Structure 1
Amino acid sequence: MAQSYKDCYAIEKLKSIYNRYSFEPIPNKITFLDNGEESSSHPNDEPRMLKIDWRLRDTFQVKAITFQQLYCLQKEIKQYEKIGLPDKQPDVALQTTSLDGHRTVLLLTNKSDSTPEKQFLEIYDRNRLIKTIDVKVLNEDLKIIDQPNFSSFVLDPNGNILLCVAQIEKKSIKDVKDFTPSTCKDYDIDGFEYRQSWGEKFSKIFHSQIVMIDLDSNEHVLLGHEDYSLCRPFFHQSKSENEISIGCVGLKEQPYKLGLIYCTNRNGCLFSVSVKRDIFSKDKGDANKAIVPEIIYGQRSNVSIESPRVYYSRTNKQFDNKVIFLERNSGGPHNQAARLQLFDFETKSIKTIVSDELRREVITNSDGNSEYSDIGPLFTSNLPSNCFSDDGRFIFLNSNVSLARKSFSICLETNTMKVLDFSLTNSTEILDIKSDWICLLGSSINHLPNIYIGRFNGDVEKIDWITVDNRKCALSNLAYEKFCFESRYFPGKFVTGLCTSPIDRKGKVGPMIIIPHGGPHSNFCDEYYQSLALYTELGLKTCLINYVGSTGVDRDYVDALLGRIGETDVQDLYDCISLMIKNYQADPNALILNGGSHGGFLVTNISGQHPELNFCACIARNPVIDVSIMFGITDIPDWNVVEALGLPGSTPLSDIYPKNSDQVSRMFNSSPLAHLERVKVPTLMLLGRNDLRVPHSQGLLFHKLLKSRGIETKCLVYDDVHDLQKIDVDFDCFINVAKFIEKFIF
């Protein structure tokens, strides 16, 4: 290791390095400020005014900061220039703007240790704040859900009716201060009954409903179903002008819930209901009594439904009577390929636009190297909010492929799928579309995320892209390359990955961090990762590995791992390490393991299965240590039996448990704990005390057993959940990881 990097490991220097990247703002939203009439009258003109929301992580205030920047088009040179100073935004929980751009609604939450949490809706027209609504005045028991991945905030085209996801929160015995059972007059016999939440990150969400709010009259109506948590609401075409038609997704709650976050295979149905427009003026009696929508699709299909989207015609000023959505079979691996479906409300028929049975081809390049094709099944859980072309003939979406995130167009008439032609970065994500102007977020391993816009004229292969913000995005000190080799366990299937190096260490032997992803059904992409930029500053090479079972290829590639965790994924990891030593200048005496969740399972597993590799350090974040024990304490017990035993996705919830000692033994034998006696590598454990996915008792067990065997180990426990992404937690993790590595590479 070059001595020139030694100084970077001083704590004050580490703080400075982390802050430099943490304060690098990342764009996450764009607003087209031209109104609809002007845009449609000059369809080929570039949008004159844009507003971009930028977000950074402030380690001094220990909070995420959002600011907005205006941009004005300089038409002569087709470039955008910043207008004025950045405008810091308040802590907005949710935000939506009507399709005509004339009304915006914000949800703000006032949180205080001394007073109850309060929620307010702020309604703006194009010029000013016109109204504030206290949510508790609407309904004292109502709580609008604002957690990402569960919340929704949707306005009708005129900006009069708001749809959001909420739950009714009634006080129980446990909430009453100084409760005395013998003197309580309104004794609640069910006050201590167990209520199951939706798991990790959603531990306070038990049963959700859709709330319709009339922003003019301050009245509301609830939509609910006793057996389903309703979410993802949307408007669709009504049969009469006097009706409002609403659809939503319902997540099945019975017989019990499975953790929802990161899991795209939860059983659900499509619902719909039509209500009279004058419903808000009628006496509703019990404010908590909900209208029950009808199940229109999925009740007998055992499917998972995500991201419903309906086309709105600006010409006819009405919604379509069809909805597109992502669909998977419920059960099985958590992030399998998705089908793109189209449901017709009138005929109640379903049509598949993109099949999940597509296969990606293996392409041999002119240099003899292999790679997977871009066109194939979809690996995404979310469609852009505005995903239709102006005429409704095309939709646009993002999907992971083998080593990137790409954006695609799909013709709804021919089902033809094409990749958006974009060469400025290697990964893209469509953020918004307006009047056929596509807003794209682009990044690469060595390129910070930036915003680009281009106009779609019927062919995604002929779009001229404009860079909105001309800040410096290239990370000139980071070099990287891709690799691909055939898996020894699965002929015809290829392990892929990316390896990075500080530019001055390229071609030279140096310490390398081996990083398998979690999931196991996820994948690394050629996109910006702050962690890789930080490791580069410390003089470290890295290797990101997509083993067989990763997403981005096809169903068969994902299914190949089922029932084989701890075996084929570990072998792919071993072969990848051998390749790094042979061809990519990894120092065999300075190999560092680093992984979280299933990645933590892999690094602790290989450290015991292959101690002859003489790893110098192992960092494990909330690792799975014993699959057989974790089954009874995780919010996703289906993961354990599907991944370790290979049980089919059609297995009913009543059968998701190990049936005999042989199955328990298989779970244990796949686990890192089965190889504990051979572990000799110094190990750092990073654990979240509030982790419901892989409870921190798993990591604590491994730490205690290593310590009892005289293996160097350190364990840090944070007041955080599975992803350890609180700002102060991520900061401390980086400092500790760097100092732990320093001990073994100099």
Structure 2
Amino acid sequence: MEIYRTRYEVDNLKSLYARYGSKPTPSKVFLLGCENGDVSSKFQPSLVKVNWKYSDSAQIKTISFQKNYIFNANAKKFLDIGLPEELPNEYFSYTRNGKRQAILKTKSDSKSTKPEQFIVVYDQDKVIKTIDVKSLNDQMTILENASYSSFVLNDDGTILLCTVEVNEKSTKGKEDNPSLADYDINSHEYRQSWGEQMNTIFHSSIAIINLELNKLVLIEKVGSSLVEPFFFKSSDNTHYSVGCIGLQELPYKLGLIYCPTRGSFLLGCKVSTEFSEVSPVEPEVYYGQEANLNFSNPRVYHNNQLNGFDCKVLFLERNAGGPHNKSVRLQQFCFETRKVQTIIDNKENRKLNASKTEYSDIGPLFVNNLPKNCFSNDGKYAFLSSYTPLETKVFAINLSECFMKPLPFHHESCDVLDVENNWITAVGSSINYLPNAYLCNLNEVSDDFTNLQWMPIEDEDSKKLTKIHFETFSFPSRDFPDKLVNCIFTSPVDMVKTPGPTMIMPHGGPHSITPACYYRSIAQYTELGLKTVLVNYVGSLGVDDEYVNALLGNVGTSDVHDVYDSIQYVIKNKHADKDRIILSGGSHGGFLVTSISGQHPELGFLACISRNPVIDLTSMCVTSDIPDWTICEALGNKGLIPFNRMYATSPQEVATMHNVSPIAHIQNVKVPTLLLLGKEDLRVPHSQGLIYHKLLKAKGIETRCFIYDDCHSLQKINVDFDCFINMAKFIEKFIYYKL
């Protein structure tokens, strides 16, 4: 361990953070090769453009850049050419033939609360025109939230769909004097947003914009925020057919990000090609009238031969309410017949192998995002990535025969980015492999996909992190013997067989997962001589809904047992030093590390690091933007909770919520504790961690608390940087200087 000691010096920590922050991740791949944009069944890209992004700790921002690669079809290799070109941070959309592009340019003015926005339209040679968004509607803002919005061009690039917010005329800046003639008596009325990281989004609509005529038609529905617009097949050439998802707003909104269980609708409408409608147009509810389902990621197959959209939309569906991020049904709705077809259901449970030591590859889909284009050229298959118990795998979905097949990949994680001209583009990584872009040519693949070949864009040897060793292990949960706890163990290569300090890292959620993909934090911890254990306790994603639901009503008990047993496992089997166990977790992971530090002080933990932890469930349900989460997890409610029941309604429920909370065990805590909190956190308000810090100080327990101008994720670059430095310095004291 002494060889790692100097790495805890502040300057060395800064260099370490900057070094791994500068390692880029691919975000988009463009394939060029067809003359005049013609699509061939045997398309071969001659030039590949890859967008990469990384964190620049000097400029304190995320940088995107593009690199160009020539494809050698015979050698199946890529040669990078020229220098990388930095990209502006802009929202954009291309036509499918690549002949037109629309870019949204946003200029923020510190003197104005509303940014200036411009739509710039390009063809292959030049800028065609620039449209000031104010000229379309002076109260409209085009939304750029990646998990909420869409920016979609039609085939010829003349019509744009986007998600917008139309604000009421503001009186802000005027003297707040009721005696004035134009005083707005409603200016202080409470308006509810969509919560964490969406606190400026109140009621969204869809704008369909004719880029040639500078005309706009708004699509709006009272009581619903409209999101994710898409085109589908029109019955005639006098109308555009537009679909979207409607999110239920009434009686009040629940936090949306990370919570794809909100009641929603599938809607559609027609807009004349002359844009003659009186705006706004109200869409019709086609599916989900009861608002007891959640829909997301609508995708419409585009028939390249007919140069048009299909009348069917593929989308993800969950039951509304209950645990967040549960498995999905892959559904297909036909706008002509108004019938829905289940392509892949989520009822079947994942099976254990004969020895009961691992799960099978086939089970329900755990998917939060579909690629923007996920279809093969013939429309027979859709391709997507789904969590399995410890990995992220690619699946081919046969849309006519309704079955799925996992596709082989040589690393543990593969996320599909796009399917273009029968080429799949994806990002692959592993715990000890940096993210790389990969291409797969479906034109050369057999019907059973057995000869599928992934081609790396950049040399794989350059992505190998040789200092990191990792392995996976599983064991039966003591509370659910028929279910496995799935874990990942990492270690510096030179310490695999040597006892060393070990960080126990349960994930947040709790219905989330830590699959075996690349994590910058793990690479940094390895450089500091730390082993880590990533614990996927019962209730995590990737197995099935029975596994997810098992945790409901058992938080603070079964999940704590799973974490405790994983600690005992690595002490016994993986050379974790029992006297140097460090706890680290955020959100529900913070709930778990503060819970186990109070429930098991006899383990003598070296230190505890907790980021935006849930400390007291009784107060969470009245301060969080997701009160349903508290009732679901603490009281075991698996279904759609009535809006007037999203709080503890009896002394018994209050007692239950208190007893499973970390605050109930604070008198037993002995471990030095570092708290990292976000002042702007609407999900787990920072008052949760702050009261814990104050109570520890009152007990005389060593504790530090840092509060940042950030939200729940604490992912602003300067915040993440500071968290890493202070975390490292906090544990250094106890690893090297503890008496």
* Fold match (TM-score > 0.5): yes
Partner of 1:269: 265
Q: Does 1:239 align with 2:205?
A: no
Q: Does 1:112 align with 2:116?
A: no
Q: Of residues 387, 391, 394 in structure 1, which corresponds to 2:378? A: 391
Partner of 2:134: 136
Any idea what SS the aligned residue of 1:566 has?
Answer: coil
TM-score of the aligned structures, taking structure 2 as reference length: 0.97
Q: CA deviation at 1:461?
A: 2.8
Any idea what SS the aligned residue of 1:320 has?
Answer: strand
Q: CA deviation at 1:161?
A: 0.7
Partner of 1:98: 95
Partner of 1:465: 454
Separation in structure 2 between the aligned mates of residue 234 and residue 181 of structure 1, nearest angstrom: 45
Partner of 1:8: 7
Partner of 1:84: 82
Q: CA deviation at 1:45?
A: 4.8
Q: What is the correspondence of 1:287-686 to structure 2 with a 5 Å cutoff?
A: 289-300=279-290, 302-364=292-354, 370-423=357-410, 425-456=411-442, 457=445, 458-470=447-459, 472-686=462-676
Any idea what SS the aligned residue of 2:502 has?
Answer: strand
Q: Work out whether residues 37 and 99 of structure 2, in 8 Å CA contact, stay in contact via their aligned partners in 1.
A: no
Question: Could you tell which deviates more after superposition, 433-442 or 512-521?
Answer: 433-442
Amino acid at match of 2:174: K
Amino acid at match of 1:375: I
Any idea what SS the aligned residue of 1:630 has?
Answer: helix
Post-superposition Cα deviations, 1:81-108, rounded to whole Å, max 9, x if no partner, equal 112111111121x111111111111112
Separation in structure 2 between the aligned mates of residue 369 and residue 227 of structure 1, nearest angstrom: 49
Q: Work out whether residues 66 and 86 of structure 2, in 8 Å CA contact, stay in contact via their aligned partners in 1.
A: yes
Q: What is the correspondence of 1:144-293 to structure 2 with a 5 Å cutoff?
A: 144-173=142-171, 175-183=172-180, 185-279=181-275, 282=276, 284=278, 289-293=279-283
Separation in structure 1 between the aligned mates of residue 37 and residue 78 of structure 2, nearest angstrom: 19
Separation in structure 1 between the aligned mates of residue 73 and residue 556 of structure 2, nearest angstrom: 58
Amino acid at match of 1:103: R
Separation in structure 2 between the aligned mates of residue 112 and residue 473 of structure 1, nearest angstrom: 41
TM-score of the aligned structures, taking structure 1 as reference length: 0.96
Separation in structure 2 between the aligned mates of residue 39 and residue 576 of structure 1, nearest angstrom: 55
Amino acid at match of 2:537: Y
Partner of 2:678: 688
Any idea what SS the aligned residue of 1:743 has?
Answer: helix
Separation in structure 1 between the aligned mates of residue 490 and residue 44 of structure 2, nearest angstrom: 38
Any idea what SS the aligned residue of 2:481 has?
Answer: coil
Question: Could you tell which deviates more after superposition, 355-364 or 494-503?
Answer: 355-364
Post-superposition Cα deviations, 1:534-575, rounded to whole Å, max 9, x if no partner, equal 000000000000000001000100000001100100011111
Any idea what SS the aligned residue of 1:198 has?
Answer: coil
Any idea what SS the aligned residue of 1:246 has?
Answer: strand
User: Any runs of at least 4 consecutive aligned residues in structure 1 with deviations exceeding 4 A, and if so which?
Assistant: 36-39
Question: Could you tell which deviates more after superposition, 98-107 or 4-13?
Answer: 98-107
Partner of 1:50: 48
Question: Could you tell which deviates more after superposition, 558-567 or 25-34?
Answer: 25-34
Separation in structure 1 between the aligned mates of residue 554 and residue 221 of structure 2, nearest angstrom: 39
Post-superposition Cα deviations, 1:693-722, rounded to whole Å, max 9, x if no partner, equal 000000000000000110000000000000
Post-superposition Cα deviations, 1:19-66, rounded to whole Å, max 9, x if no partner, equal 00001111111111234766633x335311111001011111111111
Question: Could you tell which deviates more after superposition, 651-660 or 472-481?
Answer: 651-660
Separation in structure 2 between the aligned mates of residue 128 and residue 542 of structure 1, nearest angstrom: 53
Change (3 A) 1:221 1:301: closer
Separation in structure 2 between the aligned mates of residue 383 and residue 369 of structure 1, nearest angstrom: 32
Separation in structure 2 between the aligned mates of residue 489 and residue 254 of structure 1, nearest angstrom: 39
Q: Work out whether residues 35 and 100 of structure 1, in 8 Å CA contact, stay in contact via their aligned partners in 2.
A: no
Q: CA deviation at 1:351?
A: 1.1
Amino acid at match of 2:207: V
Q: CA deviation at 1:615?
A: 0.3
Post-superposition Cα deviations, 1:315-372, rounded to whole Å, max 9, x if no partner, equal 01111111111000000001111001111111111111111112111124xxx67111
Q: Work out whether residues 439 and 451 of structure 1, in 8 Å CA contact, stay in contact via their aligned partners in 2.
A: yes
Aligned residues: 731
Separation in structure 1 between the aligned mates of residue 696 and residue 76 of structure 2, nearest angstrom: 62
Q: CA deviation at 1:179?
A: 2.7
Q: Work out whether residues 369 and 484 of structure 1, in 8 Å CA contact, stay in contact via their aligned partners in 2.
A: no
Any idea what SS the aligned residue of 1:593 has?
Answer: strand
Q: CA deviation at 1:643?
A: 0.2
Amino acid at match of 1:455: N
Any idea what SS the aligned residue of 1:685 has?
Answer: strand
Post-superposition Cα deviations, 1:501-545, rounded to whole Å, max 9, x if no partner, equal 000101110000000000000011010000000000000000000
Separation in structure 1 between the aligned mates of residue 277 and residue 583 of structure 2, nearest angstrom: 64
Separation in structure 1 between the aligned mates of residue 129 and residue 81 of structure 2, nearest angstrom: 28
Any idea what SS the aligned residue of 1:631 has?
Answer: helix
Post-superposition Cα deviations, 1:463-519, rounded to whole Å, max 9, x if no partner, equal 122111226100000000000000010021000010100001011100000000000
Q: CA deviation at 1:430?
A: 0.7
Separation in structure 2 between the aligned mates of residue 172 and residue 193 of structure 1, nearest angstrom: 12
Any idea what SS the aligned residue of 1:508 has?
Answer: coil
Any idea what SS the aligned residue of 2:358 has?
Answer: strand
Percent identity over paired residues: 48
Question: Could you tell which deviates more after superposition, 588-597 or 455-464?
Answer: 455-464
Q: Work out whether residues 36 and 100 of structure 1, in 8 Å CA contact, stay in contact via their aligned partners in 2.
A: no
Aligned-residue RMSD, C-alpha = 1.3
Q: Work out whether residues 233 and 249 of structure 1, in 8 Å CA contact, stay in contact via their aligned partners in 2.
A: yes
Q: Work out whether residues 36 and 101 of structure 1, in 8 Å CA contact, stay in contact via their aligned partners in 2.
A: no
Separation in structure 1 between the aligned mates of residue 35 and residue 363 of structure 2, nearest angstrom: 35
Separation in structure 2 between the aligned mates of residue 52 and residue 319 of structure 1, nearest angstrom: 27
Post-superposition Cα deviations, 1:256-281, rounded to whole Å, max 9, x if no partner, equal 100000001000000000121111xx
Amino acid at match of 2:59: Q
Q: CA deviation at 1:735?
A: 0.2
Amino acid at match of 1:52: V
Separation in structure 1 between the aligned mates of residue 99 and residue 687 of structure 2, nearest angstrom: 52
Amino acid at match of 2:189: E
Q: Work out whether residues 133 and 218 of structure 1, in 8 Å CA contact, stay in contact via their aligned partners in 2.
A: yes
Q: Work out whether residues 419 and 460 of structure 1, in 8 Å CA contact, stay in contact via their aligned partners in 2.
A: no
Separation in structure 1 between the aligned mates of residue 72 and residue 400 of structure 2, nearest angstrom: 37
Separation in structure 2 between the aligned mates of residue 39 and residue 697 of structure 1, nearest angstrom: 58
Separation in structure 2 between the aligned mates of residue 444 and residue 634 of structure 1, nearest angstrom: 34
Any idea what SS the aligned residue of 2:731 has?
Answer: helix
Amino acid at match of 1:404: E
Q: Work out whether residues 311 and 388 of structure 1, in 8 Å CA contact, stay in contact via their aligned partners in 2.
A: yes
Q: Work out whether residues 421 and 462 of structure 1, in 8 Å CA contact, stay in contact via their aligned partners in 2.
A: no
Q: Work out whether residues 271 and 277 of structure 2, in 8 Å CA contact, stay in contact via their aligned partners in 1.
A: no
